[in-house]
Structures are given as structure tokens and as C-alpha cells.
Amino acid sequence: MKKLYKITLLIFLISGAAHAVQQPVSVPPDAEDNQHKRYVVVIDAGHGGGEWGVNVNGTYEKDLNLSLAKLVADKLQKAGNNISVLLTRSADTYLKQEERAGLANNKRADLYVSIHCDYAQPRVDGFKIYYFYGENEGPKPAPGELTRWDDVQYKYEGPSEKLAEAMDQYLHAGLIPEDSSDTASGENDIVPLGDRGTMGTYVEPLIGLDMPAVLIEAGNMNNKNNLIALKDIKMQNIIAYHIKEGIVNYLKGK
């Protein structure tokens, strides 16, 4: 009888040990969420095709926008496997605003950045970042009614402003150069453009977007030094690197 009892106890202990081994290691809820969180970022190159945007002696805004957008997208894609990046256009094609917004909305994007260059007075120097501001917001829909397509972006005013501020902060900062392996070198990577800050207003290229969104005017094409920088691929890389850093650090704070 004692022998039978010992065998039964041994089987019980082995069974319990096996069960314990099969149990998954518990992960704190927050850590598990962060580990599996993926972000979809849409980068929009303004204009395209027959819509040139600004034209300064044969330098077209649409081309500068596309070059910058591709660089930002490439740098974001390399920033981590938790970020998926989509371009609204990857060639010299024209898309209506509803097509751009439709692409981003259908992909349930987490944020949208539209890249442009502007044409201001020659003395105006640098970049400026815009987001939708609620002062012009139309009447709010009644309970059960759908939000008008023209008004959907207004509800993201707060997050969009934070995204604009994050991008402005990193475009303004002196960062460690992207290709530098010596973090103690003391050298800074600085965008060679003035900082015109952020502004909330009615932004037509952001209409219909159902996510935080901003539009950046990367520089003034009517400013000689700005135009030289915008046309220089090395400078484009620096600008794109800083935009990428702003986006990544915004996502970290979500």
C-alpha cells in the first residue's frame, strides 16, 4: 500500500511540474502593449503631375516635395520594425485630396505628414508647420449623426498640435549626425534653415483625414539660401532626418 502511495505521489509531482513548465511567463500589460504596438505613418508629397506647386526658374516644388518625402519615409522605415510607412505618391503623379485622405483613412494611419515648400517674401527664412485649428470649425453633429468629411480633422487639433511641436522641436535642435558612430564627438547636425514655428489654421491639404495630421512648409523657395538648401541632396537628408526624429519621438509619447 505504501508503495502504491509513493507511485501515485510521484506521478502527481511529475504532472504538476510539467504543467508548471507549460505555463507562459506573465508580462505586465503595459509592456505587452508596447511590445506589440505598431504604427502606420503616411507621408504625403504635395502636388504632383500637372500640379507643379511653386516654380522658380524650372525648379518645381512638386519635385522637392517628393524627394523629401521619399527620404523621410526611408528613414522612418529604418527607425524600427514597429513603424509601417506609406507614401501617397512615389512618382510624379497627381492625386486629388480625397484620394490622399482615402488612402490614409483606409489604412487606419496613426498620423499623416504632408510635405510642401512655400513662396513668401524673400526675407522670410525657414520652415513652418501647420495643423488644423478649431476656430473655423462648423456646427458639431447631433448625437447619432456622422461628422462631415470637411470637419473630421478638427477633432484631432490637440494631437496634431503636439505632432507639429515635436517636429518643430527636432527641426530646431542640433542633433548628433545621423551617420556618426562617435556620439562623444560634440559635432551637431543642424538644419540650415530658420524656424518659423507652428500655427493652427484651416489647412486644405489636411481635409478629410481621420488621424493627427500636419503640413510642413520645408522652406521658402523665394529665399535664395533656402532654395539652395532645398535643392541640395545632402541638406535634404538633414531635413528629412530631423523630421523623422520628430515623428518617432511623438510616437514614443503616445
3-state secondary structure (DSSP) of residue 239: helix
Q: Up-side HSE of residue 204: CA atoms within 13 Å toward CB?
A: 5
Query: What is the spatial distance between Cα 251 and Cα 164, in angstroms, rounded to a whole number?
Result: 12
Give 6 or 252, the one with higher predicted confidence.
Answer: 252
pLDDT digits over 134-182, tens only?
Answer: 765 555 555 555 667 688 999 999 999 999 999 999 999 999 988 765 5
Q: Cα(252)–Cα(103) distance, rounded to whole angstroms?
A: 24
Instruction: Assess whether pLDDT exceeds 70 at residue 32.
Output: no
Prediction pTM value: 0.82
Task: Give the list of residues 6+ apart from residue 243 with CB closer than 8 angstroms, or none.
Answer: 68, 72, 113, 115, 167, 170, 171, 216
Average pLDDT over the chain reads 85
CA 204 to chain centroid, in Å, comes to 18
* Residue found under cell 483625414: 209
Answer yes or no: is pLDDT of 186 > 60.
Answer: no
In this structure, what DSSP letter does residue 84 have? Answer: E
pLDDT for res 208: 96
Catalogue all structural domains in the chain, each as residue range(s) with its CATH number.
Answer: 36-138+147-252 (3.40.630.40)
| Band (254; pLDDT cuts 50, 70, 90) | confident
Lowest mean pLDDT across 32-46, 51-65, 90-104, 240-254: 32-46
